[in-house]
Structure 1
Amino acid sequence: MKKSVTPTFKDYAEQYITNAEGQWKNDKHRAQWRMTIEVYAKLLHGLLVSAVETAHVYEVLRPIWSTKAETASRLRGRIEKILDAAKTAGFRDGENPARWGGHLEHLLHKRKKLTRGHHAAMPYEEVPAYVQTLRKRETIVARALEFHILTAARPGMVENMRLEHIDWVNDLWVIPAAFMKVAVDHVVPLVPRAMDILRELGHNTKKGYVFWARRRGCKISNSTLKREMTLTGAGEYTPHGFRSSFKDWAGDETAHDDETSEHALAHQVGSETRRAYRRRSALKKRRALLGEWFLYTQLQKANCDNREVE
């Protein structure tokens, strides 16, 4: 028999997560549960948990099923668990509209596996919570991965970073052409948090490299970064994929032009003459863009703190 007062999906989801998160050891897992329900399941928020039907769940999943396949799949599973719990508590009857087998599988195509060579990218909505997970880890590799995210740099650029590449006065990272994919010097404006990381590690380098693997006693590698992602619950993604996360965020959430984000990624844009000009003049714009990227993660942290995620 149903209880007299039926909660909304949002209220019941909040109650479910609060009750369950004590069993989850991974901070990122806790944050992702709340984030996916809050950001992607908004259509369900105002519905009574008893009124959620297949059409509602389908409309939540459909827009992101192809573009954010991993997130969509996990979101479906989370909605299914919440609705199962609601049924057990007496707030629902009948079959679960979020179940996959014999139900949603007929409406949504199966997720495609990533092809070889594809850099699996974390959806940018999940990056802020992940950055906070990294900040709780007191390892050089975690600092390297956080620095990599904040600068939107290629992993190889971070791996080869040396103290002499840092302009401490102007908060710049001057990367020599020898370390660049396009064999051209590249200047990266550094946000305050990135500078803090460098100051923290600057006195403890190995053979001049800022980021080094303590286990091997030499500079980090891409496999070292990937291992850190696996240890922190993000093993389905790649370090290089964070560049795509940044690019998607810049295009979806900011008013900055595409050329600025392309320069921030050290991509070649336009003719050789135009590229030479833009390398000089776009620095201020790139600093503003990377500053907003940094603030995005901090604002999300504040929101998470208010929801008692951490």
Structure 2
Amino acid sequence: MAKRQLHKLSAREAETIVEAGRHSDGGGLYLVIETGAHGRRQWIFLYRVRGTSRRRELGLGPAKGKGKDGLSLSEARLKAADIRKLLTLGKDPAAERRALAVADTTFGEFADAFLISIKAGFKGKNTLADWTRDIEVRCKPIRAMKLADICTNEVLTILSPIWIAINRTARETRSRIERVLDAAEAKGFRSGKNPAMWKTLKPLLPKSKRSKRHHKAAPYKDMPAIVRALRVKHETADTTVNLAAEFIILTAVRTSEARFMRVGEVDFTERLWKIPAERMKTEDDPRGEDFEVPLSDRAISILKEVIPKDAAPDAYVFAGQWSKDHAKPFGMNAVLHALKAVYPAMTTHGCRSSFRDWVGDETRFERDIAEMALAHKVGDDTEQAYRRGNALKKRRQVMDAWGRYVGSASNVIALPLRASF
């Protein structure tokens, strides 16, 4: 078999050809010219993968032309010759090029590209800034390092100086480094155990004291006055945010659960609100099960006042101020501002604490019922495996009693010495 002809093009031809298409120089090297007066010119190499019939195209770079910089014919031929050598050795030039790129990729290059790919999913307004700070400033000691060379010692160099002083920030930084390196492994840029895994670093870092944060809560004895103040504010307000705040107090739910509450989740006949599983996947309820909230008389009245008669099932119950069609929920901090307007030293989550303190101090309802009313896990895994009921009847009684308490004119309300079920 005769050898394929090489060097079909002259240097002049390579720089002056303007006809669109592929122009062969022989041996797999082609000059490609795209259509148009200013069509792009580039060199490519075509070859077949050994043992298969698949053809692959490998870009070599832009081609030199009139008034255009790029690879000359001689430079392109040198690159083509290197590729032919790899093919003679039974290697795949594309795979070799990828391996070389992977070996040279630094943490900084990969982390920057990874951040761009995930930032669309960030929900917090400061999340992007926090990520950028970590991978650009805190990770500066490893930014220029190749991904494959990063080991536990390098991660410790970043974390050790800040582990005690700003532990929460250090933990977030560690988590982000771990995520970047996990992504690098998934894309084939490194292999082996992730050096930023907590399991690996835990024995090497000093134990820190993590202070438990408590949400500000009003004493439960102040709750009736707070509810009365919210009702007065609602009479002169142009929004339903004060009613939303009262509803959250009455049901002891999390703000996000009430904020994204939809009309179709309410059963007025059964006096129940069923929160879908996807909104219950929290640290307190990792099982992510539907959660039924029994509704007191006042809670039902609020819903009937805020839900339009012609509302669609997927409409939000507590709509944003400018969302007349209930297509958007109220703002994330709207209820917090409404509460602080009547009681500055209070948070929305603190309403749950006030409810829990009241149940423990002023009633004889069982502890487990109070915890279940807050959608907290009760018992260990074994107990939960055998507990199938949701104690709805008992929870309804405790929520009705709470509704009567916060809606009372005074802080004194007749309660049974022992709840009768």
TM-score, reference length from structure 1: 0.56
Larger helix share, 1 or 2: 1
Q: C-alpha distance in 1, partners of 2:390/2:214?
A: 32
Deviations 1:97-153 (A, max 9, x none): xxxxxxxxxxxxxxxxxx895310011000001101111214310111000000010
Contact 2:251 2:399 in 1 (8 A): yes
After superposition, residues 105-124 of structure 1 pair within 5 angstroms as: 117-124=213-220
Q: Percent identity?
A: 40
1:148 aligns with 2:248: yes
RMSD: 2.5
Tell me, what secondary structure is at the counterpart of 1:208? coil
Q: C-alpha distance in 1, partners of 2:337/2:255?
A: 13
Task: From the superposition, tell whether residues 283 and 230 of structure 1 become closer, same or farther in structure 2 (CA, over 3 Å).
Answer: same
1:212 aligns with 2:322: no
Q: C-alpha distance in 2, partners of 1:290/1:254?
A: 12
Deviation of 1:240 after TM superposition, in Å, equals 0.7
1:203 aligns with 2:312: no
1:238 aligns with 2:338: no
Tell me, what secondary structure is at the counterpart of 2:214? coil
After superposition, residues 1-310 of structure 1 pair within 5 angstroms as: 117-136=213-232, 137-138=234-235, 139-180=239-280, 181=282, 182=285, 183-203=288-308, 208-215=315-322, 218-232=328-342, 234-272=343-381, 274-275=383-384, 280-301=389-410
Q: C-alpha distance in 2, partners of 1:156/1:213?
A: 14
Structure 2: runs of 5 or more not aligned: 1-210, 413-421
Task: From the superposition, tell whether residues 141 and 275 of structure 1 become closer, same or farther in structure 2 (CA, over 3 Å).
Answer: farther
Q: C-alpha distance in 1, partners of 2:301/2:264?
A: 16
Tell me, what secondary structure is at the counterpart of 1:285? helix
Counterpart code for 1:168: F
Tell me, what secondary structure is at the counterpart of 1:219? coil
Counterpart code for 1:134: L
Contact 2:220 2:357 in 1 (8 A): yes
Q: C-alpha distance in 1, partners of 2:390/2:290?
A: 15
Task: From the superposition, tell whether residues 290 and 179 of structure 1 become closer, same or farther in structure 2 (CA, over 3 Å).
Answer: same
Q: C-alpha distance in 1, partners of 2:386/2:230?
A: 37
Counterpart code for 1:169: T
Contact 1:226 1:235 in 2 (8 A): no
Task: From the superposition, tell whether residues 196 and 254 of structure 1 become closer, same or farther in structure 2 (CA, over 3 Å).
Answer: same
Q: C-alpha distance in 1, partners of 2:332/2:220?
A: 21
* Count of residues in Structure 1 that have an aligned counterpart in Structure 2: 189
Counterpart code for 1:195: I
Deviation of 1:275 after TM superposition, in Å, equals 3.8
Deviation of 1:280 after TM superposition, in Å, equals 2.6
Residue 12 (structure 1) aligns with? none
Deviation of 1:274 after TM superposition, in Å, equals 4.1
Deviations 1:61-89 (A, max 9, x none): xxxxxxxxxxxxxxxxxxxxxxxxxxxxx
Counterpart code for 2:368: E
Structure 1: runs of 5 or more not aligned: 1-114, 304-310
Contact 1:222 1:239 in 2 (8 A): no
Counterpart code for 2:221: E
Deviation of 1:235 after TM superposition, in Å, equals 2.2
Q: C-alpha distance in 1, partners of 2:315/2:353?
A: 29
Contact 1:124 1:246 in 2 (8 A): yes
Task: From the superposition, tell whether residues 274 and 171 of structure 1 become closer, same or farther in structure 2 (CA, over 3 Å).
Answer: farther
Deviation of 1:281 after TM superposition, in Å, equals 4.6
Task: From the superposition, tell whether residues 116 and 263 of structure 1 become closer, same or farther in structure 2 (CA, over 3 Å).
Answer: closer
Task: From the superposition, tell whether residues 215 and 235 of structure 1 become closer, same or farther in structure 2 (CA, over 3 Å).
Answer: farther
Residue 60 (structure 1) aligns with? none
Tell me, what secondary structure is at the counterpart of 1:213? coil
Task: From the superposition, tell whether residues 276 and 203 of structure 1 become closer, same or farther in structure 2 (CA, over 3 Å).
Answer: farther
Counterpart code for 2:302: I
Task: From the superposition, tell whether residues 277 and 287 of structure 1 become closer, same or farther in structure 2 (CA, over 3 Å).
Answer: farther
Task: From the superposition, tell whether residues 265 and 276 of structure 1 become closer, same or farther in structure 2 (CA, over 3 Å).
Answer: farther
* Largest Rg, 1 or 2: 2
Q: C-alpha distance in 1, partners of 2:253/2:391?
A: 16
Deviation of 1:269 after TM superposition, in Å, equals 0.8
Q: RCO (CA 8 Å, sep 6+): is it higher in 1 or 2?
A: 1
Q: C-alpha distance in 2, partners of 1:273/1:132?
A: 44
